[in-house]
Amino acid sequence: MSAILESADIDRALKRISHEIIERNQGLDSVVLLGIPTRGAYLASRIAQILMGLGSKVPVGTLDITMHRDDLRLRPPRPLLETLMPAGGIEGKDVVLVDDVLFSGRTIRAALDALGELGRPRTVQLAVLVDRGHRELPIRADYVGKNLPTSAKESVRVQLSEIDEIDCVEIVAAP
Amino acid sequence: MKNQLLSINDLSKDDVLSILSTAAELERITEGPTKKLPTLRGRTVVNLFFEDSTRTRISFETAAKRLSADVINFSAKGSSVSKGESLKDTAQTLQAMGADAVVIRHGSSGAAQRLSDSGWINATVINAGDGTHEHPTQALLDAFTISKRFPERKSDFSGLKVAIVGDILHSRVARSNVLLLTKLGASVTLIAPPTLLPVGVESWPVLVSYDLDEALEEFDVVMMLRIQLERMQNFYFPSEREYSRRYGLNEDRLLRMKQSGIVMHPGPMNRGLEISAASADSSRSVIVNQVGNGVSVRMAVLYLLLGGASLSEVSQ
């Protein structure tokens, strides 16, 4: 199984996404990053770091969407992950949701529901490291690190050095 | 985790830690602008209370409603039907109404177990206090309260010294707390007059003392139990005044406690008997916190028991 993206590729993709966020929002004044745990949260803080290197401090938070999932009753109960509101909240802000893989779109639907409970952002945008297709809902990403056509029988594994020791994206056989 | 919560013995240490961390996360979510989550939408929780209760029932009701479950309060007070029959009839009624969970409080030890084992009902059974046996969610909220007050421990209670003082004999809170706190590593000392200690207490994993003043300075947590005046017809102690003098938490004793020590009480309190008003309202007291924490812990229990697929749904 060869890696689709290696560490340097992931860095490049995140840098491009960071610039696209600036371009699209004509600056970063009202931009807020919200990562979806676990790996989306790490990606969000990496993007924030890149933006910091470009001279802007952007508030970062995390958003756990477990309680809003529509497949709760299909699996045993899941542990809850951390929700951290960014400094300044999300009211009236341009919120960029960050996740590792965009697949069915159900996680993002749940995230939009969870977000609606927390406030009313001016806009909500979506950044993902990998878009692997197979959408089940009318949802699309605004910023994509890599479009990765996959078969439904495959699964995309994202590893990030913060918790997995290495940076790597690969396609594996579905469990 | 099992599909029911009848006793602390139903929970592994990992289950307990997962309940405590889930409760902490739920508390943070519900502290925000929204108190309500959609997670248990369409599920029905029945509060089946054969005994009086204020905070436990309201706490379970609040917890279920914050998770968007439908709540039915069933108070069986005044029923003259014999216990076995009434429980069965009631259970079958609830089954017919499609209850997903039954929260039961009953005056007889083992009532929750009976309801769960009987096959009268498919719902998840949660024990909210059965006789003098157990009250698991109270112990969980007590542990949650302690872990919040000692955050550096991260729910590891090893070396933590806890005193449980008062009517151990009749206390389901004490039984559940002994099981739970020792599971988390705490060292528990029961302090009571000999008449208020149960037979066989020497086989429990605890220390026993008859003297509150002996080592009061050593405890990190002092948990006062209610003297259940309705059960005191048998002269367990000479007079309330004498009990209060020897086992009550008054200001003198409060001042002798460790700097970091906390005072707990499951409520309802007899102010002036087992605990003085000044102790109950002091900065050491976490009694009000216990009530608020109860909602978060019960939300966690309801979510973990009902939020996912039930065993039968998974096997389908």
Catalytic residue flag (residue B135):
yes
Per annotation, catalytic residue among B2, B62, B65, B83:
B83
Q: What pLDDT score does B315 carry? A: 39
User: Residue type at B155?
Assistant: S
pLDDT in tens, A106-129: 999 999 999 988 889 999 999 999
* C-alpha distance from B311 to closest chain A C-alpha (Å): 8
- The per-residue pLDDT for B83 is 53
Residue of A63, A66, A69, A72 to mutate when probing chain B, most B C-beta within 10 A:
A72
pLDDT of residue A3: 87
From A30's Cα to the closest Cα of chain B, the distance in A is 21
Nearest residue in A to B303, CA atom: A77
pLDDT recorded at residue B2 = 76
* Fold held by B136-287: Rossmann fold (3.40.50)
What is the residue-wise DSSP string for A66-93?
GGG-S-GGGSSPPPP---BPPTT-STTS
> What residue ranges do the domains of chain B occupy?
8-134+292-315, 136-287
Q: What confidence score (pLDDT) does residue B316 get?
A: 37
Residue B228 CA to residue B108 CA, distance in Å, equals: 16
Q: Which two tokens mark B265?
A: 């009480």
Show residues of chain A in contact with B307, CB under 8 Å: 67, 72, 77
Separation in Å, CA of A27 to nearest CA in chain B: 29
Q: Do domains B8-134+292-315 and B136-287 have the same CATH topology?
A: yes
Q: Which residues are within 8 A (CB) of A43 and not within 5 positions of it... i.e. 6 or more apart?
A: A14, A35, A98, A99, A100, A127, A129, A160
CB A148 within 8 A of CB A130: yes
Strands (E), B119-238: 124-130, 161-165, 187-191, 207-209, 221-224
Answer yes or no: do B29 and A67 touch at CB < 8 A: yes
Sequence-separated (6 or more) residues with CB below 8 Å from residue B169: B132, B192, B195, B196, B197, B198, B236
Fold of B8-134+292-315: Rossmann fold (3.40.50)
User: Could you state, in order of their start, the residue ranges of all structural domains in chain A?
Assistant: 8-69+80-150
CA atoms within 13 A on the CB side of B100: 22
Q: Within chain B, which residues score under 50 in pLDDT?
A: 80-82, 311-316
Element at A108 (helix H, strand E) = helix A106-118
Minimal-distance CA residue of chain B relative to A120:
B33
DSSP string, B91-102: HHHHHHHT-SEE
Which ipTM did the prediction report? 0.74
The alpha-carbon gap from B239 to the nearest alpha carbon of chain A, in Å, equals 50
Whole-Å CA distances, B303 to A36, A80, B89, B204, B235: 20, 10, 28, 31, 43
Whether A67 sits inside 8 A of B304 (CB atoms) is no
Mean pLDDT computed over every residue of chain A: 93
Going by the DSSP 8-state scheme, the letter that residue B134 receives in this structure is B
Say yes or no for a CB contact (<8 Å) between A76 and B32: no
Which residues of chain A have a pLDDT value below 70?
1
How high is the pLDDT of residue B78? 56
What's residue B181's pLDDT?
97
Say whether B307 and A72 touch across the interface (CB within 8 A): yes
Instruction: List the structure tokens of B162.
Output: 């806890």
Query: Considering the entire predicted model, what is its pTM?
Result: 0.87
Q: Give the span between the Cα atoms of A46 and B95, in whole angstroms.
A: 52
Which pLDDT value is given to residue B93? 85
SS3 B83: helix
DSSP secondary structure letter of residue B5: B
CATH 3.40.50.980 fits A8-69+80-150, yes or no: no
- In chain A, residues with a C-beta closer than 8 Å to the C-beta of B299 are none
| Closest chain B residue by Cα to residue A63 | B29
User: Among B135, B170, B172, B298, which one carries the catalytic annotation?
Assistant: B135
